[in-house]
Structure 1
């Protein structure tokens, strides 16, 4: 378990270092980083080796949560006093 976490962190850090250029203390172009991550996604080179799947019970509960979400209408607008508080 710890080995997988360390491997993932190593891959992430190695990709970040390779995808960025440090100039004047600032990290390089964020667009370049995004393009690198998208490239890794399409290549599958940073994908997990462990297959992740849900059990039939998990899939059923997930679908039921989705269906239940339609029982609550979306209000036309949210008033300031309708929920929570915050400082201005």
Structure 2
């Protein structure tokens, strides 16, 4: 009894598994983004000159990073404290 039911369920769900998004970017902006990501992942647009930070710059960046831990995270966020979302 369970095997025919399982077969029917599998056959009915097959069309759902066959649906897919067409390959390639959907918009010019997405195409541009994917192009930049491809350059980055293949290391094709790297600068020939190595970039380094001075000890002072590294120290300031570290202090800025550590400073974020001084802010207290509230237990609850007030959903009414902010802008309004316009709906049509």
The one of the two structures with greater contact order (alpha-carbon pairs below 8 A, sep at least 6) is 1
Per the normalisation by structure 2, the TM-score is 0.47
Per the normalisation by structure 1, the TM-score is 0.47
